Chains A and B, each alone.
Chain A
């Protein structure tokens, strides 16, 4: 059936649009979702102003140490990995930060379940695992603005995994420097505690993946030394 020229143009356009539609449906990526910086070129410089470049590597608990490492991470975190998304095969992205050829630190993010959605907590760490910057990339909350504010994030600067060792992620009981971190929105206590759990998880994972990389792990998750 012959169609008028205008109709053919409309058909062609709709066909091409629909072609895009079909093409857009095929992001065949079946692994668990990781936590990447949305715009690494911009975000790395913002979190590490002295940086001139970065390298990206991917690691998961499954590949790094399997069940033994998972048990160890859970033990150090003080909580089980929960739900259907906090799993052994989650890929973690580690950004190694450089000034020229010299490595100056790392950026690493984790996903955390919040009250109304996923929270993505990134830490910029120096070579000794000390927090340089704290950044919540994504959070769904009525009070997200205050928890994502630099004033809240600045309270984490200078803290290490050692400071979080006694922080109980289940009860929220804290001592020392972690206890000094103030929740700017008491109504958003669930998200505040989720941010602290994410920070501790982030530090534990970085310690396992990077800072104590060469220490062997037993099946039960204990260090073999």
Chain B
């Protein structure tokens, strides 16, 4: 015996073009919705991952000091400002602080880098505290320095590639006429560490005659600690500036939220259009089949039977459209990723749209719920058809 689902399916096939166009409308809505939800999830996790890769959530530096190599280069290697190492004692005792790592950045002008010369930058670090904060740093060759005052260097992958260095090779600090032995080459990380030359902190302080001075202190905040409170305390320290990556995340998320609201609006409109499309398609189908419903009723069908028959049609349309839209979103997520990157002011690395099974099921549920709501009125109209009126009518 033919089931209700089969009857509903055959009914949809009667007007193939109309059913197909409705299905496309639902699919597009599902596509937009699942991509938006996937973007919500993907962007934040990508941003978190990038910030985690920084290794520390907060940086302290002397006021006005450029705090990383790119800014230093932009400033032509000038403008470095220094803090006294003693500031560490005041920071480490704060209850919110988990760990710290002191750093000294230095740059020298190398006249033999390009036609007009260029800068070479070095970052003095304590390997133990620095690597503890960046456990994702792994070595392609060698390892960290043996001693804190050794004349050795560890190179980020890109720095080593540019300088064609391998472990055991020497590098020369131009201007200072100091040779360092390369003891480690890091694997690529996709962060600024790739282009950095790391030198033991004490050694760099000695080479550049900056004993007891630092340019930056990286701070890892305890997991449950309130970083805002710590920030407030650190602002009490004289002549320092604080860069909080939690604040960075907040700023970026605020910038992105505008784009999210726009896309959410588009998704809502798309869902509403699809809903109207579903009502239109099913209602037209119902009105065209009034006589047929009348006959079915005369042979014993109850209003609920007609209602469910029409409702199943809506369910088939919505589930097929939803699944199709989710497949479309999965297939085109890379394209959407590229488009979003072109539009947004800042996009972190990694995939911006993450669609998993849970998200797909949530989207499908939303689409089907909305679709079933849309199907209530046409199904109700079909269910309340009076057999004699319907049979007498011309339709």
User: A residues engaging B (CB < 8 A)?
Assistant: 1, 7, 10-12, 14-28, 30, 32-33, 38-39, 42-43, 46, 83-86, 111-119, 137-142, 144-145, 148
Between A and B, 17 residue pairs with Cβ closer than 8 Å are A7-B235, A15-B250, A18-B59, A20-B70, A22-B245, A22-B346, A24-B70, A25-B50, A25-B54, A28-B190, A32-B161, A39-B114, A46-B115, A85-B160, A112-B164, A118-B165, A141-B112
Contact of A137 among B50, B70, B114, B161 (CB under 8 A): B114
Contact B248 A38 (CB under 8 A): no
When chains A and B are docked, how far (Å) is the Cα of A87 from the Cα of B71? 32
User: B residues engaging A (CB < 8 A)?
Assistant: 50-51, 53-54, 59, 67-68, 70-71, 110-115, 118, 140-141, 158, 160-166, 169-172, 174, 177, 179, 185, 188, 190-192, 194, 228, 232, 235, 241-245, 247-248, 250-252, 346, 348-349
Contact B115 A140 (CB under 8 A): no
Contact of A14 among B54, B188, B228, B244 (CB under 8 A): B244
Query: A24-B70, A116-B172, A118-B162 in contact; A14/B242 too (CB < 8 A)?
Result: yes
Contact B50 A114 (CB under 8 A): no
Contact A140 B163 (CB under 8 A): yes
When chains A and B are docked, how far (Å) is the Cα of A38 from the Cα of B119? 14
Which B residues are in CB contact (< 8 Å) with A27? Answer: 194
Query: A33-B158, A115-B170, A117-B163 in contact; A138/B348 too (CB < 8 A)?
Result: no
Q: How many contacts between A and B, using CB within 8 angstroms?
A: 133
Query: Looking at chain B's contact residues, is the secondary structure mostly helix, strand, loop, or mixed?
Result: mixed
When chains A and B are docked, how far (Å) is the Cα of A115 from the Cα of B164? 10
Query: A33-B158, A139-B112 in contact; A19/B172 too (CB < 8 A)?
Result: no
Which B residues are in CB contact (< 8 Å) with A1? Answer: 228, 232
Query: A14-B244, A112-B164 in contact; A26/B349 too (CB < 8 A)?
Result: yes
Contact A138 B241 (CB under 8 A): no
Which A residues are in CB contact (< 8 Å) with B141? Answer: 84
When chains A and B are docked, how far (Å) is the Cα of A17 from the Cα of B243? 8
Contact of B115 among A17, A23, A43, A83 (CB under 8 A): A43
Query: A38-B114, A113-B164 in contact; A15/B172 too (CB < 8 A)?
Result: no
Query: A25-B190, A28-B190, A138-B114 in contact; A114/B247 too (CB < 8 A)?
Result: no
Distance from A86 Cβ to chain B, minimum over Cβ atoms (Å):
8
Which A residues are in CB contact (< 8 Å) with B112? Answer: 138-141, 144-145, 148
